[in-house]
Amino acid sequence: MVGVPTAPPVAAGVELGATGSSTVSGCEGVGIAAGQDPQGVIDAHSEGTTFCFGEGVHRIGRAIRPTKGSTLASGEGAVLSGAVALTGWVRDGGLWVVRGVLPAAYKLKGQCEDLATKPCQVGEQVFADGKHLTRVMSRDAVRAGTFFGDYAANAVYVADDPRGSRLEMSRTNTAIEVSASDVTVRGLTIEHFASKPQGGALQVGHGWKVSGNDVRWNHAVGIMVIDGDGAEVRRNTVADNGQLGIGQYRSAGVRIVENLVTRNNTDGFWIADWESGGIKSTRSSGEVSGNDIVANRGIGMWSDIAEYDRRIVANRIRDNAADGIRYEISYQATIEQNVVEGNGFGTGRGSGPSLWDGGGINVNTSAGVRVVGNLVRGNRNGISIQSRTRGEGPRGRYVLRDVVVEGNQVMMDGGTASTGVVENKGSPTGEGSVDFRRNSYRIGDRSAQRFAFKGATLTWAEWQAAGFDADSVSS
């Protein structure tokens, strides 16, 4: 039996340590020098070969397709770049322009924070001496530190004088794509790819091992696990990607462990509700544990749509703009021993202070979920349990049922923070469907209405009288 907690979970005192390509040294195998065509080298060798990318920038003009059991690695700091150099700039009024570098206009998708101009949908990014320029959507809006891509005229405009600087534009969509099983990727820096919304610069397939890489400044998803049963993503630094750090789709038994996932959603995807932020998984299962998921402009860890047998354990999830953890229209999960702090303070479209907007941990219309032993501190709200009308799923109708919230420390003595259960008219909360027990709350003033149920805001005493937390404590 879980008791009322008196100390924070072990994860609160653990430091992640080094991640990324700096943790990898040495590579023995077939060399690939900067400037060589990697695919030609790979195709000339048998399955199971180790390929060692040499020091320097490897310009990737087409996605690399590894063979079964092969290893793509570097111990020399190799950079795989999807960018092309922008040269031939000329003055055009008060701006600078280069022509003939954009692809033909293509079908756009993705929900942006800015609904009017939708800047997140276009994939080509511009970098000046490695610095990411902000996209604007008209020539008249171009200012210092920004760029405009005019696809109709095939022209890129900047305000800053490009002479003496290195300007590049992401052009290739994908660095490495799924073409075989049991591939290993380690020690690489993968950057500046024009990955499409919901698509990854690094795709991960069945049985892949992806460790010790830096995946950064790609337009959409940094690392995307697709039909990747049994894959492992470990000790990578996944930072500053345009939409999402790590994605997982239709993949069972995946382990996402001990990664640094930070500052993702640089390109303006919808913060509150469209796959932006740290990690998002759909129709999958597996473990997300021991990660630092920090300062992403969206949800920290999001399981959404028919997830099952999911374990979200011992992560440190801090300062993300939307929910720290969201478990939505899914089944059977354990959310345990996480440190969830400072999440939910985004101010974009759909963000807000109510329990409908989420907060530290949000369980939305899901069944068989255990929220146990977490530290939930200083979030926009504490723990939000939501019951909505969401239709049918592969394991039955999506309903709020068999949710246990036990042995957590919930600190919500500032701002608008509250904890509780909210429901819409079509999906009233069933009797006994949510059980809060043996939790510890810090609420400051006990007369404050820090709890909610059946459309009413409640004091601590009223919350207990409603049948919750009878054996819990508050201070």
Tens of pLDDT, residue by residue over 30-45, are 999 999 999 999 999 9
Q: How far apart are CA 248 and CA 232, in angstroms?
A: 11
Pair 472, 436: CB distance under 8 Å? yes
Confidence at residue 414, expressed as pLDDT on a 0 to 100 scale = 82
Q: What is the mean pLDDT of residues 406-411?
A: 98
pLDDT of residue 379: 97
For residue 86, give the nearest of 168, 146, 162, 13 by alpha carbon: 168
Instruction: Assess whether pLDDT exceeds 90 at residue 255.
Output: yes
pLDDT-derived band of residue 446, with 50, 70 and 90 as boundaries? confident
| Per-state percent for the chain, helix, strand, coil, to nearest 5 | 5, 40, 55
Measured in whole angstroms, how far is the alpha carbon of residue 440 from the centre of its chain? 29
Percent of the chain with pLDDT over 70: 100
> Residue type at 310?
R
Q: What is the DSSP string of 323-346?
A: -SEEEES-EEEEEES-EEES----
For residue 330, the Cα-to-chain-centroid distance in whole angstroms is 18
Q: At residue 87, does pLDDT exceed 90?
A: yes
**Average pLDDT of span 335-364:** 95
Closest CA to 322 of 373, 364, 374: 364
Q: Are strands 383-387 and 419-423 parallel, antiparallel or unpaired?
A: parallel
Q: 113 pLDDT exceeds 90?
A: yes
Rounded Cα distance between 348 and 361, Å, is 19
Bridge partner residues of 92 (DSSP): 95
Q: Is the pLDDT of residue 1 over 80?
A: no
- How high is the pLDDT of residue 251? 98
Provide the CA 57 distance to its chain's centre, in angstroms: 26
In the predicted model, is pLDDT for residue 276 greater than 80? yes
3-state secondary structure of 458: strand
Picking from 127, 236, 226, 113, the residue whose alpha carbon sits closest to that of residue 177 is 226
Q: Does position 342 have pLDDT exceeding 80, yes or no?
A: yes
Is the pLDDT confidence value at 384 over 80? yes
- What is the pLDDT, as a whole number, of residue 161? 97
Mean pLDDT of 110-130: 97
Return the CA Rg of the chain. 24
Bridge pairing between strands 155-158 and 146-150: antiparallel
Give the residue-averaged pLDDT of 409-431. 92
Q: How confident is the model over 36-86, as pLDDT tens digits?
A: 999 999 999 999 999 999 999 999 999 999 999 999 999 999 999 999 999
**Whole-angstrom distance, CA of residue 328 vs CA of residue 320:** 18
**Mean per-residue pLDDT of the chain:** 97
Domains and CATH numbers, the chain: 10-19+173-474 (2.160.20.10), 22-78 (no CATH), 83-170 (no CATH)
66: which DSSP letter? P
| Both structure tokens of 209 | 């091992």
Residue the block writes with tokens 């819990």: 472
Q: Is the pLDDT score of 197 beyond 80?
A: yes
Query: Lowest-pLDDT range, 38-42, 227-231, 441-445?
Result: 441-445
